[in-house]
Amino acid sequence: MSIITGMSTTQIAALTTTQIRDLGTADFKAMSTAQVAALDSDQINAIETRDLVILSTGQIQALKLYNNQGLLTNQVQALTPLQMKALTSEQLATFDTDDFAAISTTQIKSIDGSDLASLSANLTAVFSPDQFKAMTNLQIAELTNDQIIGLNTEQFAALTSAQISALTTNQVKALTDSQIVNLSTDQVKGLTVNQIKALTTDQVSKIEAVDLAKFSAAQIAAFTTDQIPLLTTEQIDALSATQIKALTTAQVSALTDTQINNFASDDMQALTNAQIAKLSTSQILGLSDAQVAAFTSSQVPALTTSQIEKLSTSQLAGMSSTQLRALTATQLKALSGAQIDAIGSTDFAELTSAQIAAFTTAQIATFDTQQIADLTSTQVKGLTVTQIKALDTDQVSEIQSSDLALFSAAQIAAFTTSQIPVLTDDQINALSTTQIRALTTAQVSALTDTQIDNFASDDVQALTNAQIAKLTTSQIVGLSTEQIGWLTTAQISALTPEQVAVMTTEQIQALNFA
């Protein structure tokens, strides 16, 4: 049995440092916590490291370390992880800078986070980068804001991405501009969604562009709508197509006109249809002609009618024929006359017949004569009956005769009696016999003498009996004897008494009853 067992605490306190050194490990094991507590700083310093390491956690906690008169550096180094964990915050506070510097990376992991947090920022500042790197995530999360912002460049750089992830939102908010700037690409990968949301607007603008470029889609989507407008031009330029796609529609709406104006062509093409639909009219107006021209044909249909209405004539003029062909019927109906007029003739000619058919009568009325003349043979087939009726006389006369020749019977019959008289000689000559037969009796009556005078034999013979009967007396008188001679027996029979009564002798003699 150890002699220590029978000694009182007063007797223990009376032992000299030499006597303490001469005690064996069995003696120290035999000490009660009360006896250990009786040791003064000199006696404690006299304990050999071989004996110190056998002390139980209870005995360690009983050591009275005070007034910075605690363990010697070599004793600190000798402590086991369990003993280190047993140290109280009061005991740790007695460590000097040499003691803290002597703590191994294995030992530091054993210190309670709350005990580390109790240390002053000046004391934790002596920890080496390796010591900080060795701390557990729980220990990191326990550090005070003062301790965190007290980390120097090397110490902060030593933190792993996992440790960065462990920082509380309050700790993140406390990070200095310098620490934000010095985040490594690996460290930024550790930032959690909640941490990113907690960043102040000043901190957001301090993130290095090269680091922001390493953010995951989830991290990009974490920025709040208050943070988004603070991203610098350099940061915006650093975003990849994948990151731009990751922006929420709310984030896209929060982008400033200046930020969007810095989007390159590939950035514009990275926008999803949902994102495009959320661009404000102000953002749309802020787009350069080149940016609008960068939209793909699959993106164009995503533009809302409100956005279409805000496109400038310059932006529309810059759109390619492929983009224009991608415009939906709803979008086309939203275009103003000035916008339609801004579309170049070459691009306008690329619109499909279905798109032409989508224009409202009010829009058709704004087409200038050149646009009417430039309609392709495919496009004229798209003109609806309602659209044809909406054409003014100048527009009607500008329809290419080759295009008019492609009109369907329904389209021909759509011309009003006000439009029929303005058809040119070339247009009349281009009409097929099928189209002539498609003319309503009212349209036939509206033909001028000059127009009828241009009817060839097959045109005359194409007239139905009903059409013949509706020729005015003026039109009958205007027929040449040659045209009279082309009338078939059935057509002659369709002539009314009033029509026969106004015919000249020469016309009567020209009738061919054979």
Q: Is residue 58 part of a domain?
A: no
The reported pLDDT for the residue numbered 41 is 81
| Amino acid (one-letter) located at 382 | G
Domain boundary among 342, 362, 396: 342
Q: Are 88 and 112 in contact (CB under 8 A)?
A: no
Domain boundary among 400, 431, 462: 431
Residue range(s) defining the domain that contains residue 422: 352-431
End-to-end CA distance of the chain: 154
Q: Are 60 and 35 in contact (CB under 8 A)?
A: no
The reported pLDDT for the residue numbered 6 is 82
Task: List own/partner pairs for 387-390 with CB under 8 A and 24 or more apart.
Answer: 387/356, 387/357, 387/359, 387/361, 388/414, 388/415, 388/419, 389/361, 389/414, 389/415, 389/416, 389/419, 390/361, 390/362, 390/364, 390/365
Q: Chain-wide mean pLDDT for the chain?
A: 92
The reported pLDDT for the residue numbered 165 is 97
When pLDDT is cut at 50, 70 and 90, the band that residue 66 belongs to is: low
| Amino acid (one-letter) located at 384 | T
Q: Is residue 409 part of a domain?
A: yes
The reported pLDDT for the residue numbered 1 is 74
Residues 467 and 423 reside in one and the same domain = no
Q: Is residue 53 part of a domain?
A: no
The 10s digit of each residue's pLDDT in 277-294 is 999 999 999 999 999 999
The 10s digit of each residue's pLDDT in 104-140 is 999 899 899 999 999 888 888 899 999 999 999 999 9
Q: Is residue 38 part of a domain?
A: no
Flag whether pLDDT at 392 surpasses 80.
Answer: yes
Residues 513 and 442 reside in one and the same domain = yes
Residues 337 and 364 reside in one and the same domain = no
Report how far residue 445's alpha carbon sits from residue 421's, in angstroms, rounded to the nearest whole number. Answer: 10
Average pLDDT over residues 59-79: 73
When pLDDT is cut at 50, 70 and 90, the band that residue 69 belongs to is: low
When pLDDT is cut at 50, 70 and 90, the band that residue 68 belongs to is: very low
Q: What is the four-CA torsion angle of 391, 396, 401, 407, rounded to 10 degrees?
A: 30
Length of the chain: 514
The reported pLDDT for the residue numbered 77 is 80
Residues 261 and 336 reside in one and the same domain = yes
Q: Is residue 228 part of a domain?
A: no
Q: Is residue 448 part of a domain?
A: yes
Phi, psi of 453 (to 5 degrees): -60, -20
The 10s digit of each residue's pLDDT in 155-171 is 999 999 999 999 999 99
Q: Is residue 398 part of a domain?
A: yes
Residues 427 and 441 reside in one and the same domain = no
Residues 399 and 326 reside in one and the same domain = no
Q: Is residue 25 part of a domain?
A: no
> What total number of domains does the chain contain?
3
**pTM confidence score:** 0.75
The 10s digit of each residue's pLDDT in 344-378 is 888 999 999 999 999 999 999 999 888 898 899 99
Residues 295 and 318 reside in one and the same domain = yes
